[in-house]
Amino acid sequence: MENYLNENFGDVKAKNSSDEALQRWRKLCWLVKNRKRRFRFTANLSKRFEAEAIRRSNQEKLRVAVLVSKAALQFIHCLNLSSDYVVPKEVEEAGFQICADELGSIVEGHDVKKLKIHGEVEGIAEKLSTSINDGISTSEDLVNGRKEIYGINKFTESPPRGFLVFVWEALQDMTLMILGVCALVSLIVGIAMEGWPKGSHDGLGIVASILLVVFVTATSDYKQSLQFKDLDREKKKITVQVTRNAVRQKISIYDLLPGDIVHLFIGDQVPADGLFVSGFSVLINESSLTGESEPVNVNAANPFLLSGTKVQDGSCKMLVTTVGMRTQWGKLMATLSEGGDDETPLQVKLNGVATIIGKIGLFFAVVTFAVLVQGLCNRKLREGTHWIWSGDDAREMLEFFAVAVTIVVVAVPEGLPLAVTLSLAFAMKKMMNDKALVRNLAACETMGSSTTICSDKTGTLTTNHMTVVKACVSGETREVGSSESTTSFGSAIPDLAKSVLLESIFNNTGGEVVVNEERKVQILGTPTETALLEFGLLLGGDSRQKQEKSKIVKVEPFNSTKKRMGVVIELPNGGFRAHCKGASEIVLAACDKVIDSNGVVVPLDEASINHLNDTIERFASESLRTLCLAYLEIGNEYSDESPIPSKGYTCIAIVGIKDPVRPGVKESVAICRSAGIVVRMVTGDNLTTAKAIARECGILTDDGIAIEGPAFREKSEEELQELIPKIQVMARSSPLDKHALVRHLRTTFQEVVAVTGDGTNDAPALHEADIGLAMGIAGTEVFNEISSREMEKINVFKGILKNYVFVSVLACTAFFQIIIVEFLGTFANTSPLSWQQWFVSVFFGFLGMPIAAALKMIPVVSN
């Protein structure tokens, strides 16, 4: 059986299965009693094809729009732009000057001409009654007015199905229909021969059993549909940062309205159609919408941002113009949601098991019916009444047929694949309670078979609550864990060093210091940025003052390959200054000067370099994450088209950031090891820091190897064959290093690999892995789920076995009743059992064996 399943149902993968494979297994499952129930949680391939057609259409539309825009730009300055657009009366009365359809045509069509006519981004903002700096007003009347005119940011969903729909679906079972016909015939014949109510007992018994099966099935399916609805709702809880009433805040993507100012960062999904307001180095991946893999540059010249696309690089502010079903993404999502998720490999194989059991059940049902009919014919031959057939004989034949159909009903486990799906959904629900959101049902199944975990450090093994605890400025190294020690340290360092340090912290950042609705200071951004900004505030800095004094000319956001970020600012007295921060050894290597203890910029000599490197090593050995901050005076000649310089910097400071190991990680790693799962740490941090954290977590052992990404890259294929099984820590790794490690583990060593990461620079590895875990701030509780994989399997299959063993027991009880009746009847007639009766008795007694054997195969199939 296992070979048959692997050959015919084994080519469906946990992710990215081909359409041919998905279609092939469906054709093999020809023996299906109730298609609606059997294939309820499988992908709707026709809807998939529709979605792909929409993508191709979008790709062609955008290609044409870009060509038209280029042509329009060549003539636009020579034309006297005028518009025949008329504002609809209801829009004007609501206080706006542009309607939703016009906004949609501008962004979706990349219509540069219309954008110019409406006054570009500033003009659109004005017509939407919003401010680029302060956002929309949150007064209830204005918000309701926007919703009425422009709609809400929600996609059309299929209405929830009521209980009666599930009752109707349960009635679609072919065997139940046949039993229904048997019940009708039995009632007619019984009442005609024996009258009411005596003649109706058999028929009404069949009807009662049908109703019982239907209502139990429908109730179970209805409850599970409600659970799936809850799961789907949880999966869609996504928040974005917006500015409203001049206050930066987080809101649900479903609360977005046209006129909102949204702040986007690397890895974010664009939540609605909109226009680029300001930002730096923005690259947008439009593959989810158009299928085009090449990222698109978005800037003032090409300001169009489409819902559903992803920010691949850079950061920006966006003005929301179109929401919900008016966007192309909304239309695509409506189709995709009907298409459903891919079925899991276990689901497919269990469909194969159900099909095999169905064939066996059908065969024995036919044989049983034939044997019973032959027994009746033999008896009539012995009695000499074979030419005389009465209503009793017809009724007996009908009972034989009902027995045969009952065998098919019991023997074909139509709900087996469904039960697995629901068990996996239960596992999803259980993991959600541990703050682990599973977006794909197949992930629960694959997790149970993981043999290797490649884990990121920050936020996965550590808490992701960062604080600057040590700093080295102008040769002075101190602990700065508290406000008193930081204030004392700030007064001890030279004025020049302090001034430039604060300028670097508040300008060269992806975070922001804001005042929230409660008028309290709040720091927004990544944990690293938050820690640095908090350090700057404790030093006595004023973020708004520092940012207003200088104008940002160019920004290069943090890059996983370069391991640093940079910014160029225009100084109030003229001239430009570049600031750089990032991995300590990389930024320090770009420095040739340092600010000494007197506040004087001096060349970096060997003694100073050794002192700074020793400081980095000391911080790293204490499990601190180290960052180096540096600056460079550029002079008066700089263009924003020029790249930010990469050398000649002056070192300002080295800071050590504490990110404590998450409680329970060491125990979880130990459980993983005992379960036979290898845990590897793959991080972008310093090698010394990575080794210190790995030892604290129990990942790095005496016989394990810690290696840096650049060294790993230089190894030949033969060297990697020997090296990879021993690697336990990879530091200073780029996204491609992680991808290469995962690829080798999967292909060369046939491991089932789980990768944890933040979902941005880990994207290639997450995509390559058998299971990708994109972690949030409370993510690593998943380790407990993965490490106890055997228990998870037992729990998943326990629910299935309960259902089917119970059904098998009921079936066997019914069969033994028939055996006893046959036996007593034979005994009463004082005649020996015929071979037909012995055959029926033995068959009924052992019918459960193929079902049990098939169920025993489930754990084998799952692997």
* Start-to-end CA span in the chain (Å): 14
User: Which positions ≥6 away from 819 have C-beta within 8 Å?
Assistant: 840, 841, 844, 845
Banded pLDDT at 47 (limits 50, 70, 90): low
Sign for the pseudo-dihedral over CA of 530, 266, 567, 652 = positive
Q: Name every residue whose Cβ is closer than 8 Å to that of residue 673 and which is 6 or more positions away in sequence.
A: 679, 698
**658 Rama sector, left if φ>0, alpha if ψ -120 to 50, beta otherwise:** beta
Buried b (16+ CB within 10 A) or exposed e, 232-267: eeeeeeeebbbbbeebbbebebbbbbbbbbbbbbbb
CA 594, CA 510: separation in Å to the nearest integer?
Answer: 25
Q: Is the pLDDT of residue 808 over 50?
A: no
- What SS3 class is residue 558? strand
Ranked by mean pLDDT, which of 64-73, 192-201, 581-590, 798-807 comes out on top? 581-590
pLDDT at 242 over 80: yes
Q: How far is CA 58 from CA 63, 126, 325, 698, in A?
A: 8, 29, 15, 50
Most confident of 165-169, 271-275, 356-360, 660-664: 271-275
Residues 173, 358: contact at Cβ < 8 Å? no
Which of 62-66, 602-606, 755-759 is most confident?
602-606
Residues involved in catalysis: 456
Of 98 and 47, the one with more pLDDT: 98
Which of 387-396, 452-461, 806-815 has the least mean pLDDT? 806-815
Which of 271, 170, 147, 169 minimizes the C-alpha distance to 216? 170
Q: What is the dihedral of CA 695, 699, 701, 704, to 10 degrees?
A: -120
Cβ-contact 629, 501 below 8 angstroms? yes
Q: Which residue has the tokens 């080519």?
A: 11
Q: Which of 390-394, 420-424, 514-518, 706-710 has the highest mean pLDDT?
A: 706-710
- For the stretch 753-779, pLDDT in tens is 888 765 455 667 777 787 777 665 333
Mean predicted confidence (pLDDT) in 41-63: 66
Per the CB < 8 A criterion, the answer to whether 306 and 328 are in contact is: yes
Orientation of helix 345-383 relative to helix 835-846, angle to 10° = 160
Residue that is written with structure tokens 């995709």 in the block: 336
Task: State the average pLDDT over residues 57-78.
Answer: 58
DSSP H helices, 622-664, are none
31 band by pLDDT with thresholds 50, 70 and 90:
low
Please indicate whether residue 138 or residue 258 has the higher confidence score (pLDDT). Answer: 258
Q: What is the pLDDT of residues 572-603, one digit of tens each?
A: 888 899 999 998 989 999 999 999 888 899 99
Those residues whose C-beta lies under 8 Å from the C-beta of residue 687, and which sit 6 or more positions away, are: 620, 706, 708, 729, 731, 732
**For residues 840 and 511, which has the higher predicted lDDT (pLDDT)?**
511
Handedness of CA 716, 721, 722, 728 (dihedral sign): positive
**And the tokens for 247?**
């206050």
Distance CA 471, CA 485 (A): 11
DSSP state letter for 83: -
Q: Residue 498 has which token pair?
A: 């302090």
Q: What is the pLDDT of residue 296?
A: 85
> In the chain, how many H helices and how many E strands?
35, 24
DSSP string, 237-297: --EEEEEETTEEEEEEGGG--TT-EEEE-TTPBP-SEEEEEEEEEEEEE-HHHH---S-EE
- Environment class of residue 67 by beta-carbon count within 10 Å: exposed (0-12), middle (13-18) or buried (19+)? exposed
In this structure, what DSSP letter does residue 303 have?
A: -
Say which residue, 819 or 33, is predicted with more confidence: 33
DSSP string covering 121-185: HHHHHHHTT-BTTTBB---HHHHHHHHHHH--S----PPPPPHHHHHHHHTT-HHHHHHHHHHHH
CA dist list (Å): 348 to 8, 789, 794, 850:
10, 21, 20, 19
Return the SS3 of 542.
coil
pLDDT of amino acid 262: 93
Residues 834-850, mean pLDDT to the nearest whole number: 43
Which of 250-259, 524-533, 615-624 is the least confident region?
524-533
| C-alpha span between 46 and 43 (Å, rounded) | 9
Q: Which of 66-80, 82-96, 221-235, 381-395 is predicted least confidently?
A: 66-80
- What percentage of the chain has pLDDT greater than the value 70? 68
Q: Across 325-339, 361-375, 378-392, 401-415, which has the greatest mean pLDDT?
A: 361-375
Range 265-289 average pLDDT: 83
Contact 639, 577 (CB under 8 A): no
Mean pLDDT across the stretch 168-175?
75
- Average pLDDT score, the chain: 75
The pLDDT of residue 94 is above 50: yes
Q: How far apart are CA 687 and CA 317, in angstroms?
A: 36
Q: What is the pLDDT of residues 739-752, one digit of tens each?
A: 889 989 988 888 88
pLDDT for 612 equals 92
Residue with structure tokens 């039995």? 186
Q: Which among 480, 469, 479, 473 has a CA at the least distance from the CA of 494?
A: 473
Per DSSP, 44 falls in state -
Give residue 458's pLDDT: 76
Structure tokens that stand for 163 in this block: 């209980």
User: 122 vs 394, which has greater pLDDT?
Assistant: 122
- DSSP class of 645: P
- pLDDT for position 362: 78
Q: Which pLDDT does position 502 carry in this prediction?
A: 92
Max mean pLDDT among 196-205, 373-382, 828-837 falls in 373-382
Selection from 11, 52, 57, 60 nearest residue 339 by Cα: 52
User: Is 827 a residue whose pLDDT tops 50?
Assistant: no
Q: What are 609's two structure tokens? A: 């370099």
Nearest C-alpha neighbor of 342 from the set 44, 581, 631, 554: 44
> According to the model, what pLDDT value does residue 756 have?
79
Tokens 């005042």 locate to: 515
Q: pLDDT (tens digit, 9 = 90+) per residue, 1-27?
A: 556 666 666 566 655 666 666 666 666
Question: Does residue 797 surpass a pLDDT of 90?
Answer: no
Q: Identify the pLDDT of residue 404.
A: 77
Q: Quick: pLDDT tens for 475-489.
A: 888 888 777 777 788
8-state DSSP, 649? E
Q: Which pLDDT band holds residue 814 (cuts at 50, 70, 90)?
A: very low
Diameter over CA atoms, the chain: 125
Instruction: Please tell me which residue, 629 or 564, carries the higher pLDDT value.
Output: 629
Separation in Å, CA 291 to CA 52, 285, 402, 799: 9, 10, 54, 40
The DSSP secondary structure of 422-438, one letter per residue, reads HHHHHHHHHHHHTT---
**pLDDT above 90 coverage of the chain, percent:** 15
Closest among 152, 124, 507 to 319, alpha carbons compared: 124
H-helix or E-strand spanning residue 471: strand 467-473
Ramachandran category for residue 291: left, alpha or beta (phi over 0 → left; psi -120 to 50 → alpha): left
How much is the pLDDT for 501? 92
Q: Give tens-digit pLDDT for 216-229.
A: 778 877 876 776 67
Q: Smallest Cα–Cα separation from 248: which of 550, 545, 520, 467?
A: 520
